[in-house]
């Protein structure tokens, strides 16, 4: 199993300066699950499945759809589990589970897979140490100053920087 919840604090509202969730204004570090932890949990799982290739693993952390679960299967898990998404779906997750099963059936049909073993772990070896990742050539490298990406997205008031 790759993750429990991750220690976290609720955000502070910029208007009231109160924590978004609090009791009498007080908060304590609590477990964060759901979408925010999926990439964190996947990183842990990749470490585990690579270190212990002959062991069985069950993925958990951030799963709500089959696309999420697929990450864990492709990294080598034989099963997956869901907590937060199920709690947010009638407390036990009837729709989440139905969508997971349907998503898996459609995925396998489309690709002609007969069982999970046809695709379990097939992306495990793509996770490598940073030194094995090819670097962009000096000419392509923009040092984090890509003009139209992320927080640099152009707006009418602030068009693309040259």
Ligand X SMILES: Cc1cc2nc3c(=O)[nH]c(=O)nc-3n(C[C@H](O)[C@H](O)[C@H](O)COP(=O)(O)O)c2cc1C
User: Which residue number is nearest to ligand X in terms of Cβ?
Assistant: 33
- Which is nearer to ligand X, 88 or 122 (by Cβ)? 88
- The reply to whether 3 sits near ligand X by the rule CB under 6 A is yes
Which is it for the CA torsion 110, 112, 114, 118, positive or negative? negative
Under 8 Å between Cβ of 40 and 6:
yes
- Which is nearer to ligand X, 23 or 162 (by Cβ)? 23
Residue 25's φ and ψ, nearest 5 degrees, are 85, -5
- The reply to whether 82 sits near ligand X by the rule CB under 6 A is yes
Residue with tokens 């609590």: 30
CA neighbor of 58 nearest in space, from 120, 5, 7: 120
- The reply to whether 37 sits near ligand X by the rule CB under 6 A is yes
- The reply to whether 70 sits near ligand X by the rule CB under 6 A is no
- Which is nearer to ligand X, 61 or 121 (by Cβ)? 61
- The reply to whether 33 sits near ligand X by the rule CB under 6 A is yes
> Could you tell me which stretch among 21-29, 80-88, 112-120, 139-147 binds ligand X (CB under 6 A)?
80-88
Give the containing element (helix H, strand E) for 48: helix 38-51
- The reply to whether 69 sits near ligand X by the rule CB under 6 A is no
Provide CB contacts within 8 A for 68, sequence distance 6+.
38, 62
> Contact residues for ligand X (CB under 6 A)?
3-5, 31, 33-34, 37, 60-63, 82-85
């Amino acid at each position: 199993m790759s993750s429990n919840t991750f220690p976290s604090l609720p955000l502070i509202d910029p208007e009231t300066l109160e924590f978004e969730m609090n009791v009498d204004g007080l908060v304590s570090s609590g477990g964060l699950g759901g979408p925010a932890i999926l990439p964190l949990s996947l990183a842990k799982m990749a470490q585990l499945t690579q270190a212990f290739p002959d062991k069985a693993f069950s993925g958990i952390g951030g799963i709500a759809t089959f696309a999420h679960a697929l990450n864990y299967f492709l990294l080598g898990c034989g099963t997956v589990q869901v907590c937060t998404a199920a709690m947010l779906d009638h407390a036990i997750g009837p729709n989440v589970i139905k969508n997971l099963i349907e998503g898996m059936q459609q995925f396998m049909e489309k690709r002609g897979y007969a069982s999970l073993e046809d695709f379990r772990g097939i992306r495990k070896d793509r996770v490598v140490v940073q030194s094995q990742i090819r670097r962009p050539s000096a000419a392509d490298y923009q040092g984090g100053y890509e003009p139209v990406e992320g927080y640099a997205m152009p707006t009418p008031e602030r068009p693309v920087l040259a």
